[in-house]
Structure 1
Amino acid sequence: MGAIATITRRSLLIGAAAIAGGVAVGYFYYRKPFPNPLDDDLAEGNVTFNPYVKIAADNTVTVIVPRAEMGQGVTTTLAALVAEELDVALDAIKVEHGPASYAYYNREMLAEGGPFAFFDDGLIAESGRAAFGAASKFLGLQGTGGSASVRDAFDNMRQAGAAARQMLIAAAATRLDVPAGELRTTDATIVHQPSGKSVTYGEVAVDAQTLAPETLQLKEKAHWRLLGKPQMRTDMLAKVTGAPIFGVDVNLPDMLYGTVKMSPRFGAKPTKIDLSAAEKMPGVVKIVQMDTTYGHGFGIIAQNTWAAFKAAEAIAVEWGEPDYPADNAAISKALQDALASADGSALRDDGNVDTAFADVAREKLVEADYEVPYLAHACMEPMNATARLKDGVLDLWSPNQVPTITRQLCAGLAGVGQDNVNVHTTYMGGGFGRRGEVDFSMFATLIAKEADGRPVKVTWTREEDVRHDVYRPAAAGKFRARLGDDGMPVAVDMAIASPSVMASILRRTFPWLWLPGPDKTIVEGSFDQPYTIPDYRVTAIPAAISIPVGFWRSVGNSYNGFFHECFMDELAAAGKLDPVEMRRKLLAAQPAAVKVVEKVAEMAKWGEALPAGKAKGFAFTLSFGSWVGEIVQIADTPAGIRLEKMWIAADVGTALDPGIIEAQLVSGAVYGLSAAMGQEVTFADGMVEQSNFHDYDAMRIFQCPEFEVAILENYHKLGGVGEIGTPPAAPALANAVFALTGKRIRKLPLNKEVSFA
Structure 2
Amino acid sequence: MTMGRAGTIARRSFVVGSVALLGGVAFGYYQYKRPPKNPLLDGLGEDEAALTPYVLINADGITLTTPRADMGQGSYSVQAALIAEELDVALDQIRVDPGPPSKAYYNTALANEAVPFPSTDQSTAANAMRGTVDAVMKFMGLQLTGGSTTVPDGYEKLRMAGAVARETLKHAAAEQTGLAVTQLKTDHGAVVLPDGQRIPYQALAATAARIDPVTNVTLRPSTQWRLIGKPMQRVDMVAKSTGTQAYGIDHRMDGMVHAAIRLNPRKGGDVVSFDASAAEAMRGVQQVIEVTGGIGVIADNTWRAFQAADAIEVEWGPAPYPAAQSEHWQVLSDTLDAAAPDATPRDDGDMDAVDASIEAEYRAPYVAHAPLEPLNATVLVGEGRVDVWTGNQIPRMTQASVADMTGISARDVHVHILMMGGSFGHRLEDEVVKRATELAMALPGTPVKLTYKREEDTAQDYTRPIALMRGRGAVDGGKVTAMEIRVASPSILDSQMGERQGMNLPGPDSAITQALWDQPYAIPHYRVVGYRPPKLGPVSSWRSVGASQNAFFHENFLNALIHEAGADPVEERLRLMTDAPSRKVLEAVAEMSDWGGSLDRNTARGVAFSLSFGTPVAEVVQIRQTEAGIALDKVWVAAEVGRVVDPINFENLVQGGVIWGLGHAINSQITYADGMAEQQSFFDFEGLRNYQTPEIFVRGLENRDRVTGIGEPPVPPAAPALAEALFQSTGERPTEMPFANTFTFV
Structure 2 equivalent of residue 251 of structure 1: 252
Counterpart of 1:684, as a letter, is A
- Supply the AA of the counterpart residue of 2:500: T
Q: SS at the partner of 1:50? A: coil
The alpha-carbon distance between structure 1 residues 741 and 41, as it changes in their structure 2 partners (threshold 3 A), is farther
Residue pairs, 1:722-737, within 5 angstroms: 722-737=711-726
Query: 2-side partners of 1:128 and 1:260: how far apart?
Result: 45
Summarize deviations over 1:656-689 as a string: whole Å, max 9, x none. 1111111000001111001110100000011100
Aligned positions of 1:93-108 closer than 5 A? 93-108=94-109
Residue correspondence of structure 1 range 575-654 to structure 2 within 5 A = 575-587=565-577, 589-654=578-643
Q: What are the within-5 Å matches in structure 2 for residues 476-515 of structure 1?
A: 476-484=468-476, 486-511=477-502, 513-515=503-505
| Map of 1:54 onto structure 2 | 56
Compute the displacement of 1:702 (Å). Answer: 0.3
Indicate yes or no: 2:663 matched with 1:674. yes
Q: Which residue of 2 aligns with 1:11?
A: none
Distance 2:258 2:249 in 1: 11
Are residues 354 and 731 of structure 1, via their aligned partners in 2, closer, same or farther at CA, if it must alter by over 3 Å?
Answer: closer
Partner residue of 2:646 out of 637, 646, 657: 657
CA displacement 1:26-47 (0-9 Å, x = unmatched): xx99742122223446799999
1:450 partner letter: A
Provide the rounded CA distance (Å) in 2 between the counterparts of 1:374 and 1:305.
Answer: 30
Q: Following TM superposition, by how much is the alpha carbon of 1:549 offset from its aligned partner in structure 2, in angstroms?
A: 0.5
Counterpart-to-counterpart distance in 2, 1:207 and 1:50: 17
How much does 1:109 deviate? 2.3
Taking only the aligned residue pairs, the percentage that are identical comes to: 42
Q: Describe the SS at the equivalent of 1:610.
A: coil
Deviates more, 1:128-137 or 1:209-218: 209-218
Cα separation, partners in 2 of 1:610 and 1:48, compared to 1, 3 Å: farther
Instruction: Indicate how the Cα distance of structure 1 residues 347 and 151 shifts in structure 2: closer, same or farther if over 3 A, else same.
Output: farther
Consecutive unaligned residues of structure 1, counting only runs of 5 or more, are: 1-27
Tell me the CA shift for residue 216 of structure 1.
1.6
Aligned to 1:456: 448
Q: Is it true that 1:199 corresponds to 2:199 in the alignment?
A: yes
Q: After superposition, what is the alpha-carbon deviation per residue over 1:633-677, rounded to whole angstroms, capped at 9, x for unaligned?
A: 100001110001111111111111111111000001111001110
Cross-structure match for 1:24 = none
Asked if 1:268 corresponds to 2:259, the answer is no
Q: Which moved more, 1:269-278 or 1:73-82?
A: 269-278
Which amino acid counterpart does residue 202 of structure 1 have in structure 2?
Answer: Q
Match of 1:474 in 2: 466
Alpha carbons of structure 1 residues 214 and 628: separation in structure 2 relative to 1, 3 Å: closer
1:563-606 CA deviation, whole Å, 9 max, x = no partner?
A: 0010111011000000010111111x211111111111111111
Shift of 1:508: 3.2
Q: CA deviation at 1:162?
A: 0.7
Letter in 2 for 1:493: E
Paired position in structure 1 for 2:731: 742
| Pair 45,679 (structure 1): closer, same or farther in 2 beyond 3 Å | farther
Q: Distance in 2 between matches of 1:660 and 1:552?
A: 21
Write the mapping of 1:413-452 to structure 2, written as runs, cut at 5 A.
Answer: 413-452=405-444
Q: Which of the numbers 365, 383, 386 marks the counterpart of 2:378?
A: 386
Structure 1 distance, partners of 2:708, 2:585, is 14
User: Partners in 1 of 2:528 and 2:381 — Cα distance?
Assistant: 50
Query: Residue 317 of structure 1: CA displacement?
Result: 1.3
How many residues are matched? 716
Q: Which AA in structure 1 matches 2:201? A: Y
1:10 corresponds in structure 2 to none
User: Cα deviation per residue 1:525-546 (whole Å; 9 max; x = unaligned)?
Assistant: 1111111112211111011133
Is 1:516 matched up with 2:513?
A: no
Deviation for aligned residue 1:550: 0.5
Q: TM-score w.r.t. structure 1 length?
A: 0.92
SS in 2 for 1:602: helix
Structure 1 residue aligned with 2:5: none
Report deviation, 1:487. 2.1
- 1:572 corresponds in structure 2 to 562
SS at match of 1:431: coil
Residue 182 of structure 2 aligns with which residue?
181
Aligned amino acid, residue 165 of structure 2: A
Task: Return the offset for 1:248.
Answer: 0.6
Amino acid at match of 2:440: A
Report if aligned partners of 2:164, 2:215 keep a CA contact under 8 Å in 1: no
| Matched letter for residue 527 of structure 2 | R
Separation of aligned partners in 2, 1:532 and 1:365: 19
Is 1:45–1:57's contact at 8 Å kept on the other side of the alignment?
A: no
Distance 1:692 1:80 in 2: 37
1:205 offset after TM fit, Å? Answer: 1.4
Structure 1 678/322 Cα, relative in aligned 2: closer, same or farther at 3 Å? same
The RMSD of aligned alpha carbons is 1.9
For 2:304 and 2:531, how far apart are their aligned partners in 1? 46
Structure 1 pair 43/609, CA: closer, same or farther in 2 (3 Å)?
farther
Is the aligned partner of 1:687 residue 2:676?
A: yes
Q: TM-score, normalised by structure 2?
A: 0.93
Q: For 1:152-176, what per-residue CA distance to the aligned partner results, in whole angstroms no more than 9, with x for missing partners? A: 1112111111111111111111111
* 2:166 matches 1:165: yes
What SS is found at the alignment partner of 2:155? helix
Alignment of 1:221-260 (within 5 A): 221-260=222-261
Q: Partners in 2 of 1:30 and 1:297 — Cα distance?
A: 46
Contact 1:47–1:56 (8 Å) recurs in 2 = no
Report the 3-state secondary structure (helix = DSSP H, G, I; strand = E; otherwise coil) of the residue aligned with 1:427: coil
Deviations 1:9-65 (A, max 9, x none): xxxxxxxxxxxxxxxxxxx9974212222344679999977311001135x111111
